[in-house]
Structure 1
């Protein structure tokens, strides 16, 4: 086999294995309403997108960003979707939940006490800024 033929065969093998691994997609989901129907729709969207791409052999990285009234989605003991988020975070390895630090600070001030979030939520400085950053990184954006 000539060097050229060997190089072509190696290139085809590498390209084939990269193609077989599938593509990675990125999705940012925005939740800013304290409405269980909206929260469940956002979680349904995440699950449906994950299932669709998994069936295609692709991967999807999903970040759900909650701020304003939507932060209620992550408040421990108060979230109407707390159990569902817990289950989804175990089932879907590439889903994350971002909580707006600005909203959290305002809520703590309003209540006059600390506000515990569910363990799956990670605090980001600003929910709006986080959504901007994700879109700048190429994430598709949806708001249910």
Structure 2
């Protein structure tokens, strides 16, 4: 007949061995989030997302771009994310060369290098008399309008996000 101390000893030994196995698996995966996602199968799918920005406050634009940066990191890097941002209404003038905040411009340019596609609403451009040469390099004219573009991307399987 087994005693309680024998059972506890057996349980402790089993848990220690299981913990060692988990630690070994963790060390093989490395500390790099990108590698971990790929090895776990998370990075094997390219996520498709579209962010919607219409707020007049440039700090809200910074917040959105920060979310995109974190999103890229969270899915294991920019190669695992097909990301658009559609900007319209009072948000768009914040991105003109005359008005853009230096920090906002730097963050946008970095994200564009990582694959962010910046869509500028054609209706807003007309309303505010904004031309493409006034917008950041790489901006994409969305002649059908920002909300139409948002709907088109959702129809193509993009997840809609409006932080």
TM-score, reference length from structure 1: 0.74
Contact 2:84 2:117 in 1 (8 A): yes
Q: Determine the C-alpha separation between the residues in 2 that align with 1:114 and 1:86.
A: 16
Structure 1 residue 86 displacement after superposition: 1.3
TM-score, reference length from structure 2: 0.66
Contact 1:27 1:141 in 2 (8 A): yes
Contact 1:73 1:82 in 2 (8 A): no
Structure 1 residue 88 displacement after superposition: 2.0
Q: Determine the C-alpha separation between the residues in 1 that align with 2:57 and 2:92.
A: 10
Q: Determine the C-alpha separation between the residues in 2 that align with 1:127 and 1:21.
A: 29
Q: Which residue of 2 aligns with 1:52?
A: 74
Find 1:85's aligned residue among 81, 91, 108.
Answer: 108
Q: Determine the C-alpha separation between the residues in 1 that align with 2:71 and 2:136.
A: 23
Structure 1 unaligned spans of 5+: 1-18
Structure number with higher relative contact order (C-alpha < 8 Å, ≥ 6 residues apart): 1
Root-mean-square deviation over aligned CA pairs: 2.4
Structure 1 residue 72 displacement after superposition: 2.3
Per-residue CA deviations over 1:49-100 (Å, capped at 9, x if unaligned) read 1001116x9711110000000112421131221222112212x1x2110000
Find 2:150's aligned residue among 109, 119, 131.
Answer: 131
Q: Does 1:105 align with 2:123?
A: no
Contact 1:30 1:64 in 2 (8 A): yes
Q: Which residue of 1 aligns with 2:162?
A: 143
